[in-house]
Amino acid sequence: MIEMKVISKRFGKVDPLSIDSYIKHDGYKGLEKAISNHPSHIIDEVEKSKIRGRGGAGFPTYIKVRALSKEAGKKYIVCNADEGEPGNFKDRMIMENDPHSVIEGMIIMAYATGAEQGYIYIRGEYQIAMNIMKETIKQAKDKGFLGKNIFNKGFNFEIEIRSGAGSYVCGEEFSLIESIEGKPGRSRTKPPFPTEKGIHNLPTLINNVETFANFPYIITIGGDKFAQIGTNSSTGTKLISLSGNVKKKGLYEVPFGTSIRDVIFKLGKGVKDDRKIKMVQLGGASGPIIPEYMLDMSIDFDRFENFDSKTGTGAIIVIDDRFDIFDILLTNMKFFVHQSCGKCAPCREGHIQIVNLLNKFINHRATEKDLMSLENLANVIQQTSLCGLGQTSMTSIISSLRYFRDDYFAKVRY
Amino acid sequence: MNQIKEILNKYPKEEEYLIEILLEFQASKKNHYISSEDVSVISKYLNIPESQVCSVISFYTMLSMSPKGKYVIQVCHDVPCFVNSANNIYDKLVEELGVEDGETTEDKLFTLEITECLGRCNESPVMRVNDKVFVNLTPAKVEKIINDLRGENK
Ligand SMILES: Cc1cc2nc3c(=O)[nH]c(=O)nc-3n(C[C@H](O)[C@H](O)[C@H](O)COP(=O)(O)O)c2cc1C
Ligand code: SF4
Ligand code: FES
């Protein structure tokens, strides 16, 4: 069995709209255990677990949590449920199937850090998840898990839902903060980081939905035990959104260290109509495109760092040999043209230029000079953009120049 | 007017609720848009300039200041849907409706839009009609969905 169901173990088994059903399936046990200990103990457990963020970048979670706990005064906890990266649907699945696990994770973090206000920022397109999360918050309040003086421990915590309104960049931390404040989602320069100056310039912890859903489990089994799952650099399990030309698209949960090939062939049952794989895009539109011969690579943040991108969301998009790499690249780049917030020139102008260059290749009008221009421009956008959007959007171009160079040469006019 | 007041009164008079208010305003309209009168009402309520309200509307793709059809149809075209023949779905819609991306039919029933990933790539290709998502589409399914919607509006 290559699957290991930890975060998805209750999917289909609990009634998402019933807190009693969740409690019957060991729900809120992690919270119960958490509050019987000192808050600093929880942060120690998170550190021992070695968990890294599930939103893409794979940043060690305990560093942010500890930083927030050290801040005095009013502070915020935000669950990032913006999930706009094409190819991802894991956060939606968590919210639709086991919403209380997210709330439980947020309450544990509130207790650990002393934050009294939480937000869940859900992309506007996720109407079903939004309604479920609203109901879930109401139920948790009625049971006394949210509100004032929770478990008679003298700690207070409230959660509000905020809706996105159709903007991919709002998944980026500072854009998200701007959006929660009711403004256009244009990013800010870092530092200061959100844990220092976030919402209303107050300390703010932002974590992904899947990251929050992991906390109850970490507390229940203990950080050391959690750290034994997966690999040295990437502990625990990962939800994988498998899509594209596979026989069985869907959500799968595997321990870190599982190979991409196994996910595609053992869980996804291989390629539709038994065609050949031409390429696989990892993470989403801002992730790398790799050739078939690299599929034995394991799902591991350290491996993903070679591409310095948001590969760690766990999306695997399989593309068979009927497709041309330029069609895929053009689709990705048009996405970024639409999604650029326009604040900085490399991203605002650069993506348009990249689209023009790609069209030259597609129309067989590109020269070797255009190939060099494409390569240079991609590097400039990556290195000089203000926020994570422009810093990661070039990953598919840069990786394709590395692994599919022949496809470029085949289109160059000499 | 009463409905507008009802929506506004649900929210504290704080700037941070602007996006929530705009989304709810728009959802309450059958043409899915925020009029310039709405903008002025909202800006007075929150005590912020109208230009600030407009800049938020223009930033977010789900918000619009121009009227749309009764049904806004959004077809996803990102890679997971693209490699599952999303183009055929779009072409079928163009054929059925006689309009292209961003346009509204003459009878004001349908607006067609190409949209980004709807987070349903496990069931691609996908489209959204107002709040409802239709999955695992084929051109035949699209034809039926459109015919059904037209039937409801005879
Ligand atoms: C353009 C852009 C979009 C992003 N979208 C998301 C998103 O939808 N969900 C998410 O959790 N993180 C997203 N991120 C990453 C967040 O900025 C942030 O790193 C993450 O929410 C931190 O949570 P984690 O440490 O639990 O992963 C995005 C980043 C960028 C640059
Ligand atoms: S990189 Fe793009 S999205 Fe980010 S701030 Fe610059 S223009 Fe905006
Ligand atoms: S790419 Fe179409 S729903 Fe994700």
Q: Is residue A99 assigned to a domain?
A: yes
CB contact burial A83-100 (16+ within 10 A = b; e otherwise): bbbbbbbbbbbbbbbbbb
CATH of the domain at A34: 3.40.50.11540
CB contacts of B11 in chain A (<8 Å) are: none
Domain hosting A223: range is 19-227
Q: Is the domain of A336 the same as that of A293?
A: no
Q: Which residues contact B57 (CB under 8 A, 6 or more apart)?
A: B22, B34, B39, B63, B64, B65
What is the pLDDT, as a whole number, of residue B150?
95
What's the mean pLDDT when you consider all of chain A?
Answer: 96
- How many structural domains are present in chain A? 3
The reported pLDDT for the residue numbered B126 is 98
The structural domain count of chain B equals 2
Considering the domain architecture, whether residues A115 and A158 belong to the same structural domain is answered as yes
Q: How far apart are CA A125 and CA A79, in angstroms?
A: 17
Q: Is residue B80 part of a domain?
A: yes
Averaged pLDDT, B1-22: 91
Residue B65 lies in a domain: no
Q: What is the ipTM of this complex?
A: 0.97
Residues A286 and A372 both lie in one domain: no
Q: Six-digit token pair at A294? A: 């690299």
User: What pLDDT sits at residue A308?
Assistant: 63
> ω into residue A192 within 30 of 0, thus cis?
yes
Q: Quick one: B54 and B103 in the same domain?
A: no
Chain B neighbors of A331, CB-CB under 8 A: 77-79, 82
| pLDDT tens-digit readout, A349-387 | 999 999 999 999 999 999 999 999 999 999 999 999 999
Q: How many CB atoms lie within 10 A of CB B8?
A: 18
Does the beta-carbon distance from A335 to B124 stay under 8 Å? no
CA A26/CA B138 separation, integer angstroms: 42
Ligand 2: does its nearest atom lie under 6 Å from the Cβ of A341? yes
- On whether both A207 and A254 belong to a single domain, the answer is no
- The whole-angstrom separation of Cα A91 and Cα A55 is 9
- A144 with A257, same domain: the answer is no
Kindly state whether residues B128 and B82 are assigned to the same domain. yes
Which domain-ending residue is among A269, A290, A320?
Answer: A320
| Cα(A45)–Cα(A317) distance, integer angstroms | 34
Q: pTM score, two decimals? A: 0.97
pLDDT in tens, A263-319: 999 999 999 999 999 999 999 999 999 999 999 999 999 887 777 666 789 999 999
Least confident of A104-118, A295-309, B39-53, B119-133: A295-309
A41 alpha-carbon distance from chain centroid: 27
Span from the CA of A50 to the centroid of ligand 1 (angstroms) = 19
- Asked whether the beta carbons of A114 and A39 are under 8 A apart, the reply is yes
Cβ–Cβ of B119/A89 closer than 8 Å?
A: yes
- Nearest residue in chain B measured CA to CA from A186: B59
Name the residue type at position B129.
V
Same domain, A136 and A222: yes
A313-329 confidence digits (pLDDT tens): 999 999 999 999 999 99
Q: Is A249 in the pocket of ligand 3 (CB under 6 A)?
A: no
Task: Give me the domain span that covers residue B54.
Answer: 2-59
pLDDT digits (tens, 9 = 90+) for A177-236: 999 999 999 999 889 999 999 999 999 999 999 999 999 999 999 999 999 999 999 999
Answer whether residue B69 shows pLDDT above 90. Answer: yes
Within this chain, do residues A133 and A254 fall inside the same structural domain, yes or no?
no
Q: Are A397 and A335 found together in one domain?
A: yes
Q: Is A52 exposed, middle or buried (0-12, 13-18, 19+ CB in 10 A)?
A: buried
Among A194, A209, A227, the domain boundary falls at: A227
Q: How far is the CA of A84 from the centre of ligand 1 (A)?
A: 9
Judge if A245 and A222 occupy the same domain: no
pLDDT above 70 for B1: no
Q: Which residue has the tokens 């790398």?
A: A288
- Give the end of a domain, one of B17, B39, B59: B59
**B49 in the same domain as B87:** no
CATH code of residue A255: 3.10.20.600
From chain B, pick out residues whose CB is under 8 angstroms from the CB of A181. Answer: 15-16
Q: Which of A102, A167, A173 to mutate to test the pocket of ligand 1 (most atoms within 8 A of CB)?
A: A173
Are A91 and A137 within one domain? Answer: yes
The verdict on residue B81 lying in a domain is yes
Residues A145 and A286 in one domain: no
Looking at the structure, do residues A38 and A154 belong to the same domain, yes or no? yes
Note whether A208 and A83 are within 8 A (CB).
no
Q: Could you say which of B60, B78, B124 has the minimum Cβ distance to residue A165?
A: B60
Check whether residue B117 and residue B145 sit in a common domain. Answer: yes
Provide mean pLDDT across the span A59-64. 97
Does residue B16 lie within any of the structural domains? yes
Of B12, B30, B59, the residue at which a domain comes to its end is B59
Encoding tokens for residue B76?
A: 């996803």
Does pLDDT of A90 surpass 70? yes
A193 lines ligand 1 (CB under 6 A): no
